Amino acid sequence: MNRTKIAGIGHYVPERIVTNAELEVVMDTSDEWIIERTGIEERRFGERFKENTTILGAKAARKAIENAGIEAEEIDFIIFATLSPDYFFPGCGVLLQRELGITSTEIGALDVRNQCSGFVYGMSIADQFIKTGHYKNILLVGAEMHSMGLDFTTRGRNVSVIFGDGAGAVVLQPSREGESSEILTTHLHADGTYAEELAFINPGAHGGVHGNKDEMGYSENKWDPIFITQKMLDDGMTFPYMNGQLVFKTAVKKFPEVIMKALNTAGKKAEELKLVVPHQANLRISQFVQRMLRLRDDQVFSNIQKYGNTTAASIPIALSEAVQQGVVQRGDLVCLAAFGSGFTWGSVLLTW
């Protein structure tokens, strides 16, 4: 059976920097309030009408493909992870294929909708395809354009101050004989009990099944489309919702569990880790997890201060930066871990 390695990596973040001070102008918040609760100092927003999730993903993908030393035409499968797709359907996978100009090969394109855990889930999927010899060059992209769907008012500040735009990508290939680079183990988990506690529910096809239809403004007329109502628009019900306390409480439990599960499965110890690259959900969560695992500061990579939470894009952006900065070098033991909406969480342990 083949072993899977990351052969190429790249990331892209938009040029526009949005500081906490800029958010103070449009909502009742402060730089101190945001930093104290999240550690975020600034984030990037894509250029409206010129950039979208697919375009961000394509810019990162081109860098990863170049870094892998291959041509785009050599990609034989695409996996695209995002929670902010350009369209309700089709997904961004086929749009990325078109953007990269590789439609003539008619390769498959898979969209992963596991939100914050999307990139980790995508890594596990790609690993299975590579191991079994089904594909040889898989392009995995995590990209987000959150700024197009946030509530930039005081009402939405608890969520809107957290998120930013960006994309990261990797090319996965079989490891050659004698190479130490490989994915050692992957672990995926989910618990849908609290699905609505971190969610973007409206517009959707639920039709009030998971809520009071009258409170959402649905009509009794069976021929009226059940999708979006004026009440949803008026009451700001078409934006993401997060139960911050529950998310924090669950994340600081699941992050260490899934990291240790990966280490135990591979017969490794925490002190052997060169680097943990967590999904950049909240700097306070990462710091809490670091203390629980008794890791040194240099063993946990954080860039949420600069980019905010880019959900599915956060791990590949952070890993790409770590590689660029020389923090990670070939042969190093690295653990990727994520927790988010669903709830879903997972880990990937690899030697770079």
* Residues belonging to the active site: 116, 279, 309
Do 64 and 9 form a contact (C-beta atoms < 8 A)? yes
- Count of CB atoms within 10 A of residue 28's CB? 11
User: What's the one-letter identity of residue 261?
Assistant: K
Q: What are phi and psi of 209, to 5 degrees?
A: -60, -40
Answer left, alpha or beta for residue 278, where phi above 0 means left and psi between -120 and 50 means alpha: beta
Do 244 and 38 form a contact (C-beta atoms < 8 A)? no
User: What's the one-letter identity of residue 65?
Assistant: I
Do 130 and 4 form a contact (C-beta atoms < 8 A)? yes
β pairing state of 344-351 and 333-340 = antiparallel
Q: What are phi and psi of 164, to 5 degrees?
A: -140, 175
How far is 191 from 189, CA to CA, in rounded Å?
A: 7
Answer left, alpha or beta for residue 144, where phi above 0 means left and psi between -120 and 50 means alpha: beta
Do 29 and 157 form a contact (C-beta atoms < 8 A)? yes
Residues 6+ apart with CB under 8 A from 309: 40, 116, 162, 163, 164, 280, 281, 282
Give the tokens for residue 58.
Answer: 């394509």
